[in-house]
Amino acid sequence: MKLQISHTLVRGLVLTAGFFGLERIGSTAETPKTEMAPFRVEAEFGVDGLRIQNSNSVLNAYLLEQHGVAQLQDITGVAPNLGTSNSDTRGFGDVLSLRGVANSIFFSSPAVGLSIDDVPSGSVSSYPSTLLNIESLSVKAGPQSTDYGRNAPGGIIDIKTRTPGSKHQGKLLIDYGSFNAGALLAAFDGPINKNAKYSVSFGLNEHDGYIKNTFTKRTDDDRRSVAGRGSLYFQAADQWQVRVGVMMEKISDDATRLSSLFSADPFTVSSNVVGVTKIERAQLSLQARKAFSWGALTSTTSRQKWDLDPSITDLDLSPLALASSRVAQNEATWTQEFRAESTPGANRPQWRAGLFYFGSTIEGDATREFIVPPSTFVPPGFVQTERSVFAIGQANLAGYANVDYPITPKTLVKLGVRLEQADSDLKRTKASSNSFRFPSPQDPRVSLSQGNEHVSFSGGIIHTLSPALNLQARTSLAQKPDGYSGFTANPNLARFDSERQWATEVGVTFGPPKGRFGGSVLAFYNQMDRYQLERTVPNSTDFVVVSAAGVIARGFEAKFMWNPVDKIWWDFQAGYTDATFDNHRDASGARVDGKRVPFIPTATLRTGITWDLGRGLSANASYAAVGRTYYDERNTGTFAQKAYGIVNAQLRYRFENYTFAVYGQNLFSKNYYQFINPEIYAGSPGAPRRLGVQISFVY
């Protein structure tokens, strides 16, 4: 890493820490603030207080449950054009996409950031899987680099957990269902004394696997997890607020959920390898906030660790010992953010400025064994073993600022800028051997480093035509930093370029405040240069990030909430994305201009309806659809998942402090793949139909 980052950071920490001693900065004049019109339904069920806004989708705990979102990997479509491709490995190798902007499988920085209670995460693989004690989950689409410390060029998932009140409250939920699925979730919070509060939650979850292994005579992908989250809140008399937080998650799963694309039954394999996926996550955070007459200063510090040890996968998915892999990988991340922001007020400028540091080290140890087909120079039974060991370091220092400036009582201008220094380095070795002990060519040791500066900015306008109608337009320049791939020794292939995105959107929000109907419609156009995606290097076992010269993503979004009568609520979110290569060649050198970008669903839809039947009874149903998704650059039919939709439903009965529920997920047993691996002709089938019962108690 460059020393200038450390020196700049130290100076920034000292200067910003000194700000906490200041009692006044800037003007305290009262000026109005223009807000998007809210949509609110006064009801017991889950849409209270949720706003309909362009580029911002908000769900509370009730709506997440209605749509069957129990872990982060379930969030496809909870916001328009939000997609996730995963093999049910609790984050490892996941691809998150939003409006055609995505991370690569292993090595590029996140396009869609994650923040939980103002604490940012590291790589997508390290994102927590279990959702605990959620107050709200917001998905903000489009570049957010000028609004948050952690870079988020495609958008951000902003999660808030429940904040303790003045009384002790608690919830206990027990769930049992198909595949011997069992879950226990608990959350408690309240005051300790007049100056301190607590919040604690934990969850246990397990189920038998969905895939039957005919060779081992057992289910192949059993799942077990335990997770916990806790916070202490302190309030001092001199306007100080302090929060200490801890999070942990331990995963003890079996094999990656994979089956052959040529299998007649996607839930059957015949594999000689007993797969394993073990993951541990831990996070400590400290946030201190002090209020002043002009606004507030906030310091947020976090230390995060993610450890995968091991992930064992059968690459041939057969009874023969043809190919397998074992991966151990860990990630350690430090973040520090100092943020100053003005006090909210009507009809006056609102501003936010911050300094952010991110540092991480990813260490990997991957071993692959495979049989080489016999030939003139290769005897039968020749087994090749390759072990790659790498360490990738990243350090980012960024300053950002934004302002919402009302130029008239009905017109708000939004401006933002971000300056970022991004450094990265790679150290990598690879050892090759074989079962015949023949001499094997060894890759050279790799030691590389680089550093670059990036500038991002955004500008937008919101104009209120009436209390029920708002217009919005926004344009942004966002950058995703360059970096290194750990699975090649070729310096020309190991390094990949930074990705640049020019994003523009225009939309309208409609619906009177506190009305029965509200919604939004938006169109977007993203032009991306040096688009980052991963693929295999021909005639090798290397796997690298490449940069497509040009990608165009365009589409639209629509969402609404409707309360047609007092006891019925309907929410709807849909999006369409046409993400295509504008200038790119695949691994063979053939042009693929006009082909769709892998991992980006062409459409998403989530809709649900809730009906209060009276006397404590309620029912809800939801439908989730995902458009055609390709998993290779040529858009080969074999590696494509056609459009599909699944139906969930639930019947609830509430009596005093108890709630009883029966539910069904994927009621019509729709078969689909949520991830396809073209390299091994395998896919990850989505969960089949599951039925279950719940009982919960609140006080």
Question: How do residues 88-97 score in pLDDT, each as one tens digit?
Answer: 999 999 999 9
Confidence of residue 50 (pLDDT cuts 50, 70, 90): low
Q: Is 163 helix (H, G, I), strand (E, B) or coil?
A: coil
More confident of the two residues 566 and 504 = 504
pLDDT for residue 65: 87
State the DSSP H helix or E strand holding residue 1, giving kind and residue range, or none if neither.
Answer: none
pLDDT for the residue numbered 51 = 62
371 contacts: CB under 8 Å, gap ≥ 6: 321, 322, 323, 381, 382, 383, 384
Q: Are 561 and 510 in contact (CB under 8 A)?
A: no
What pLDDT band is residue 67 in, cutting at 50, 70 and 90?
A: confident
Specify the DSSP class assigned to residue 67: T
pLDDT score at 347: 81
What CATH code would you report for 3-698? 2.40.170.20
Separation CA 223–CA 73 (nearest Å) = 14
Q: What's residue 390's pLDDT?
A: 98
At 4, is the secondary structure helix, strand, or coil? Answer: helix
Q: Under 8 Å CB-to-CB from 270, ≥6 apart: which residues?
A: 213, 214, 215, 317, 318, 319
Q: pLDDT of 523-565, one tens digit each?
A: 999 999 999 999 999 988 999 999 999 999 999 999 999 989 8
Q: pLDDT band at 318, cuts 50/70/90?
A: very high
**In which band, very low, low, confident or very high, does the pLDDT at 150 lie, cut at 50, 70 and 90?**
very high
CA distance 503 to 142: 7
- Contact between 297 and 17 under an 8 Å Cβ cutoff? The reply is no
Measuring CA to CA, how many Å separate 698 from each of 163, 220, 618, 657?
16, 37, 17, 5
Kindly give the pairing relationship between strand 658-665 and strand 690-698: antiparallel
- Tell me the three-class secondary structure of 568-582, residue by residue: EEEEEEEEEEEEEEE
Q: Which residue has the higher pLDDT, 12 or 612?
A: 612
SS3 (DSSP) at 12: helix
Please indicate whether residue 412 or residue 46 has the higher confidence score (pLDDT).
Answer: 412
The pTM of this model reads 0.92
Residue 664 has what pLDDT? 97
Q: What is the mean pLDDT of residues 571-595?
A: 97
Query: Binning pLDDT at 50, 70 and 90, where does residue 398 land?
Result: very high
pLDDT digits (tens, 9 = 90+) for 338-354: 999 999 887 889 999 99
pLDDT value of residue 5: 38
Contact between 205 and 187 under an 8 Å Cβ cutoff? The reply is no
pLDDT digits (tens, 9 = 90+) for 98-127: 999 999 999 999 999 999 999 999 999 999
Output 340 or 11, whichever has higher pLDDT: 340
- Reported as a single tens digit per residue, the pLDDT across 233-283 is 999 877 899 999 999 999 999 999 999 999 999 999 999 999 999 999 999
Inter-residue contact 488 to 543 (CB < 8 Å): yes
d(CA 117, CA 115): 6
pLDDT at 62: 84
DSSP codes of every residue in 239-276 = SEEEEEEEEEEEEEE-S-S-EETT-SSTTEE--SS--E
Asked whether the beta carbons of 167 and 197 are under 8 A apart, the reply is no
Asked if 530 and 548 touch (Cβ cutoff 8 Å), the reply is yes
Residue keyed to tokens 């151990």:
328
457-473 pLDDT, tens digit each: 999 999 999 988 999 99
Percent of the chain's residues with pLDDT above 90: 85
When the pLDDT of each residue in the chain is averaged and rounded to a whole number, the result is 91
- φ, ψ of residue 165 to 5 degrees: the values are -100, -160
At residue 28, the pLDDT reads: 32
432, 442 in Cβ contact below 8 A?
yes
> Which pLDDT band, with edges at 50, 70 and 90, does 1 fall under?
very low
Q: Comparing 522 with 377, which gets the higher pLDDT?
A: 522
User: How far are the Cα atoms of 114, 138, 210 from residue 101, in angstroms, in the given order?
Assistant: 15, 18, 31
Of 57, 58, 143, 160, residue with least CA distance to 100: 143
**What integer pLDDT is reported at residue 627 of this predicted model?**
98
pLDDT tens digits, residue range 202-246?
999 999 999 999 999 999 999 999 999 999 999 987 789 999 999
